[in-house]
Amino acid sequence: RRDANRERQDIVTLVKRQLTREISEGRFSASREAVKREVERRVKERMILSRNRNYSRLATASP
């Protein structure tokens, strides 16, 4: 995936920029805590996807 060679901090910056745009467009309206949780959730998701399921520390439990 396109995030494969990015560092975690680069992904955090991109996600924050994306969320800021969504907030300004009115697509995401929530408290500061909700924004922080959403940033963490999106970063984790992108890290997992970028590692092609080989990033064991962030891997989700398989059924």
Dihedrals phi, psi of 9, to nearest 5 degrees: -65, -35
Q: Which residue matches tokens 């940033």?
A: 39
Provide the pLDDT for residue 18: 93
Look at residue 58 and tell me if it is in a domain: no
Q: Which pLDDT score, from 0 to 100, does residue 8 have? A: 86
Rounded Cα gap, residues 51 and 58, in angstroms: 10
Q: The domain containing residue 24 runs over which residues?
A: 8-53
Would you say residue 59 lies in a domain? no
Asked, for residue 3, whether it belongs to a domain, the answer is no
Q: Per-residue pLDDT tens for 12-40?
A: 999 999 999 998 888 887 788 999 999 99
Sign of the torsion angle spanned by Cα atoms 22, 25, 26, 30: positive
Is residue 20 one of the residues assigned to a domain?
A: yes
- What's the confidence (pLDDT) of residue 39? 93
Q: What pLDDT band is residue 4 in, cutting at 50, 70 and 90? A: confident
Number of domains in the chain: 1
Within a domain: residue 30?
yes
Does the pLDDT of residue 44 top 70, yes or no? yes
